[in-house]
Amino acid sequence: MQDVLNQVGINNYIFLSVLLFCIGVFGVLYRRNAIIVLMSIEIMLNAVNLLFVAFSTYHEDAQGQVFVFFSMAVAAAEVAVGLAILVSIFRNIGSIDVSNLKKLRG
């Protein structure tokens, strides 16, 4: 693993993760379909997981990989709640378009 990391370089891993993270951020900000927004959030979290594993190898330290398990479990719980909210919205208004949610305006 160390050889691969040395060949590729830790900086490239960081660039890749930042790129994936930004794709996720723009997905959250610009897409209106709630499912795609959920996927974008997953991309953000998984970009970080990738970077955790890369740093873990870089430092030759297992803590980072253990953290990935925590963050995966948390992401799963989060998405479960998010999908549940989405289902109840779909039952109420028959749409999963985030821009249809404008009952609350000041």
Partner 1 sequence: MNTLIAITALGVICLIFELLNLRKILVPFSIVALCGILYLNSLDYNQTASYYNNMIVVDNFSVTFTALFIVLTTFLVALGHHFYDDVPEKLSDFVAIKIFLLSGAAAMVSFGNLAMFFLGIEVLSISLYILAASRRLNIKSNESGMKYFLMGSFASGIILFGICLIYGAIGSFDMRVIMEAAVSADVEEWFYIGGILLAIGLLFKIAAVPFHFWAPDVYEGAPALTTATMSTLAKVTAMATFFKLFFAMSGNLPETSQTVLVVLSGLSMTVGNIMALRQANVKRMLAFSGISHAGFMLMTLIGTQISAGTLLYYGTAYAFAGIGAFSVILYVCRHLENEDIVNFQGLGKSNPFLAFVLTTSLLSMAGIPIFAGFFAKLMLFSQVLESGHLALVIVAVVNSIIAVGYYFKLILAMYTKEPQHERTGRPFYIYAVATVALLLNLTIGLFPSLVTDLLR
Footprint of partner 1 (CB under 8 A)? 10, 14, 17, 21, 24-25, 28, 34, 37, 41, 44-45, 47-48, 51-52, 55, 58-59, 61, 63-64, 66-67, 70-71, 74, 77-78, 81-82, 84-86, 88-89, 92-93, 98, 101, 103-106
- Name which of 7 and 103 has its Cβ closer to partner 1: 103
Question: Please, which residues have CB within 8 angstroms of residue 57's CB and are 6 or more apart in sequence?
Answer: 1, 2, 5
Residue 60 C-alpha from the chain's centroid: 25
Phi and psi angles of residue 33, each rounded to the nearest 5 degrees, phi first: -85, 125
